[in-house]
Structure 1
Amino acid sequence: MVLCALCCVSAVSDRGALSTCNYSHNVTFFYNLVGKKISERWSTRDSVVIGVGLTVCVIVVLANLMVMLAILKNRRFHFPIYYLLANMAAADLFAGVAYANLMLNTGPWTRTLTKEQWYIRGALIDISLTASIANLLAVAVERHQTIISMQLHSNMTKRRVALLIVCIWAAGIFMGLVPSTFWNCECDLDDCSTVAPLYSRRFLIFWAVFNLVTFFIMVAIYTRIFIYVKCQSQYTSAHTTENRHNQMIINLMKTISMVLGAFVICWTPGLMVLLMDGLLGKASKANNYEKFCLVIAECNSLVNPIIYSLRDEDMRRTFKWILCCLCRGDEGQQRQLSPVKVDSPQLEVCLGYRAETDG
């Protein structure tokens, strides 16, 4: 991922060095250049959109924070695949923060942004998307290696998982910095995007194609895994124990596949709009679809916690345990609940203790 980006960045940097750059232009200049209108005052529609958007952002942050807390508290989730899912929740949480920042720096407020602030606004979205994609790819590879050996969980050490997570976020930060540092249109005004006026259209083409190809690779990996598991299940149909083990693998795979499917469905329209903008420029009329695609992409960060709660009984029980303890609100009682008992069964521990104290 990083090497491919470096090659493209190097080519653009060499070409940009031959052009005359004028860094004195402000954000408004680039918006006027591509014909993207900046609202002068807040309309009722804009206020409603901002209000709903910020509300969704708060829900996204809280929901994914609960997923991370559930994985931390429940020992049944202390395996590499769940650590990666917790990191996915962290990426979704970060996305909620990024969207909130976008909401608070859009509309008439766009005129007040410096170029550095505008680049930061876009970089936060790029980082969250890259981290999510890299994390899903890591999950796909981990599941492929694990299931081919017919294991439920891999033998990857916590240290290696931590290193992998660090690499995922390093890749996200790198890709977030590329447009502001190397690959923008400040030295080539004819290359400015209509969706993101300071971004290079060539960067949007690379960004969209790279992510769409990654989607295809992940779908291919999961398709191969499902075919392999199905074939193995036919051979082990006579063994009850192996059947149960295979069913656990299939259930986990279905959950992860739903997460991947939701991600692809929510992000593909936005990536297609970026690709159209990069290829056609103003003729694509990409600005007409930009906000709708952004809303769909934002919804993806809210979908994953719902999938976890519907598909995983242990995760659902842990959610109930957390909500139960939060609603009770008695710190003294919470201290008497040992965190190591959260794994079996959570809700009964909390409710049982409350019934005992009430009696």
Structure 2
Amino acid sequence: MAMESSLWSTCDYSHNVTFFYNLVGKKISVEWAPRDVFVIGLGLTVCLIVVLANLMVMAAISMNHRFHFPIYYLLGNMAAADLFAGIAYANLMLHTGPWTSTLTKEQWYIRGALIDISLTASVANLLAVAVERHQTIITMQLHSKMTKRRVVLLIVCIWAVSIIMGLVPSLFWNCECDLEDCSTVAPLYSRRFLIFWAALNLLTFFIMVAMYTRIFFYVRYQISHMSQHSSEIRHRQTVFNLMKTISIVLGAFVICWMPGLVTLLLDGLLGKSSHANAYEKFCLVIAECNSLVNPIIYSLRDEEMRRTFKWILCCLCGRGDKQMELSPVEMYPPLPEEALGCVQKSEDPAVCPEANNKESSWTTPGV
């Protein structure tokens, strides 16, 4: 008890942001250099594109009834996390450089919390998508049978966990009571928190990569041994294409965020000797690019998403029809999951006539 009392008695909350930066040897710019102005201008431009691009993804998923399934709602929530990341990066750009010394500790914590929340939300979304795909693809279904209520509850839980993780450093896990534990990358953060946070995210990455690797090889094995029934071929090819798109999204996320997380981990383990400040800005730029990559992946990999993007842009320009035209895919929609199970057991469509007439409970009228 005496030791605990002594520990808390060393807490001095009167120190400002500049004190912590000087403590760890992180320099705060006194005046704007031409390079700084260019970087901030470019960064804000990228943030604007990130926000608009992910708004397009969310609008496409909302307006096209072919995307009204659990997997696409989770991808839409991932777009919301990327949109949030664009806002968080814009806030960072507007509170960096010489502006850093003018921040209160509360403002500094909010700046960091926004980045933490966006990353946690993205990782949690990817993990939810991995679990959803594992449950459906192992049984060679296109979409899961999760109810809308469960998907909404899952999305709410993702954001609740993300907000809690973002608030942890400002509430209690910082270095204000242990100055020797201050990070060099984020001077008010505890190095032990950075180790925990980076290690947790990296572990989640490895788990998701393992899950997707198993699913990927399973789908390839199933396709190589499938029958020549046209409906079965079309279903499994659709499953495989969606699987590849999600795998690319995961790969892009890991590539963009791995350098930053490794940097935070080294900073937490080694402190000043890691020299993390020398390359932290490059890692941040790479991480920012991830929020722009996903909409590009969707538009290149998903023909239906690309067509919906074009329709939305035409509507915004006043040249689009209010009613979205049916694509060939919609004219010949995939079989419901119940019918898919029948096809896998028998190539005779007459075996399951009732299943072929059932509508998916997730499908809603077109816009």
Give the structure-1-normalised TM-score. 0.88
Of 167, 171, 177, 2:167 maps to 177
Residue 199 of structure 2 aligns to which amino acid in structure 1?
V
Equivalent residue for 1:314? 304
Of 69, 75, 86, 1:85 maps to 75
Query: Deviation of residue 237 (structure 1)?
Result: 3.7
Query: Are 2:132 and 1:142 equivalent residues in the alignment?
Result: yes
Q: Determine if contact 1:318/1:342 at 8 Å carries over to the other structure.
A: no
Could you say what secondary structure the match of 1:238 adopts?
A: coil
The 5 Å alignment of 1:284-295 reads 284-295=274-285
Query: Deviation of residue 228 (structure 1)?
Result: 1.3
Residue 262 of structure 1 aligns to which amino acid in structure 2?
A
Residue 132 of structure 1 aligns to which amino acid in structure 2?
S
Of 239, 246, 253, 1:249 maps to 239
Q: Determine if contact 1:16/1:187 at 8 Å carries over to the other structure.
A: no
Q: Determine if contact 2:8/2:177 at 8 Å carries over to the other structure.
A: no
Deviates more, 1:237-246 or 1:298-307: 237-246
Mapped to 2, the partners of 1:268 and 1:142 lie a distance apart of 24
The 5 Å alignment of 1:20-99 reads 20-99=10-89
Cα distance change on mapping 1:345 and 1:240 into 2, 3 Å: closer
Query: Deviation of residue 344 (structure 1)?
Result: 4.1
Query: Deviation of residue 241 (structure 1)?
Result: 2.0
Query: Are 2:245 and 1:260 equivalent residues in the alignment?
Result: no
Whose helix proportion is higher, 1 or 2?
1
Residue 170 of structure 1 aligns to which amino acid in structure 2?
A
Equivalent residue for 1:130? 120
Query: Are 2:210 and 1:225 equivalent residues in the alignment?
Result: no
Cα distance change on mapping 1:324 and 1:275 into 2, 3 Å: same
Cα distance change on mapping 1:67 and 1:123 into 2, 3 Å: same
Mapped to 2, the partners of 1:17 and 1:163 lie a distance apart of 41
Mapped to 1, the partners of 2:326 and 2:82 lie a distance apart of 25
Which blocks of at least 5 consecutive residues in structure 2 are unaligned? 330-367
Query: Are 2:204 and 1:214 equivalent residues in the alignment?
Result: yes
Deviations 1:41-99 (A, max 9, x none): 00000000000000000000000000000000100000000000000000000000000
Of 240, 262, 265, 1:275 maps to 265
Equivalent residue for 1:337? 322
Cα distance change on mapping 1:288 and 1:342 into 2, 3 Å: farther
Mapped to 2, the partners of 1:342 and 1:315 lie a distance apart of 14
Equivalent residue for 2:359? none
Q: Determine if contact 2:226/2:233 at 8 Å carries over to the other structure.
A: yes
Residue 47 of structure 2 aligns to which amino acid in structure 1?
C
Query: Deviation of residue 164 (structure 1)?
Result: 0.3
Query: Deviation of residue 231 (structure 1)?
Result: 1.7
Query: Deviation of residue 235 (structure 1)?
Result: 2.4
Residue 243 of structure 1 aligns to which amino acid in structure 2?
I
Mapped to 1, the partners of 2:5 and 2:212 lie a distance apart of 40
Residue 140 of structure 1 aligns to which amino acid in structure 2?
A
Cα distance change on mapping 1:116 and 1:345 into 2, 3 Å: farther
Equivalent residue for 1:10? none
Query: Are 2:154 and 1:164 equivalent residues in the alignment?
Result: yes
Query: Are 2:214 and 1:186 equivalent residues in the alignment?
Result: no
Deviates more, 1:226-235 or 1:73-82: 226-235
Query: Are 2:329 and 1:324 equivalent residues in the alignment?
Result: no
Mapped to 2, the partners of 1:46 and 1:321 lie a distance apart of 39
Query: Deviation of residue 129 (structure 1)?
Result: 0.1
Cα distance change on mapping 1:303 and 1:284 into 2, 3 Å: same
Query: Are 2:197 and 1:202 equivalent residues in the alignment?
Result: no
Could you say what secondary structure the match of 2:279 adopts?
A: helix
Query: Are 2:90 and 1:100 equivalent residues in the alignment?
Result: yes
Mapped to 2, the partners of 1:160 and 1:313 lie a distance apart of 28
Q: Determine if contact 2:53/2:292 at 8 Å carries over to the other structure.
A: yes
Q: Determine if contact 1:75/1:343 at 8 Å carries over to the other structure.
A: no
Q: Determine if contact 2:299/2:305 at 8 Å carries over to the other structure.
A: yes
Residue 297 of structure 1 aligns to which amino acid in structure 2?
A
Q: Determine if contact 1:73/1:343 at 8 Å carries over to the other structure.
A: no
Equivalent residue for 1:357? none
Which blocks of at least 5 consecutive residues in structure 1 are unaligned? 1-13, 347-359
Q: Determine if contact 1:19/1:188 at 8 Å carries over to the other structure.
A: no
Deviations 1:234-256 (A, max 9, x none): 22143332121111000000000
Deviations 1:176-195 (A, max 9, x none): 00000010000000000000
Give the structure-2-normalised TM-score. 0.86
Residue 337 of structure 1 aligns to which amino acid in structure 2?
K
Q: Determine if contact 2:223/2:236 at 8 Å carries over to the other structure.
A: yes
Residue 61 of structure 2 aligns to which amino acid in structure 1?
I
Could you say what secondary structure the match of 1:117 adopts?
A: helix
